[in-house]
Amino acid sequence: MTAVPPACAVDERCFATAPAQAEALADAVASQLREAVAQRGVAS
């Protein structure tokens, strides 16, 4: 996971990509969660 540099908050070009980065991060977390659940053999 990459940390967002403080300057990103004030850089318009960087700020514009934040939603896409957040969505990608959420997808990655959800994917890891599904994998963990599958490994435990628990049906969601």
- pLDDT value of position 24: 87
Q: Could you read off the pLDDT of 1-44 as tens digits, one per residue?
A: 566 555 555 666 666 677 888 888 899 999 999 999 999 886 55
Alpha carbon 6 to its chain centroid, in Å, reads: 18
- pLDDT value of position 21: 81
16: nearest Cα among 1, 4, 2: 4
- pLDDT value of position 1: 52
Spell 3-41 as b/e; 16+ CB within 10 A means b. eeeeeeeeeeeeeeeeeeeeeeeeeeeeeeeeeeeeeee
- pLDDT value of position 5: 58
CB-based contacts of 41, cutoff 8 Å, min separation 6: none
Reading the block at residue 25, the tokens are 């991060």
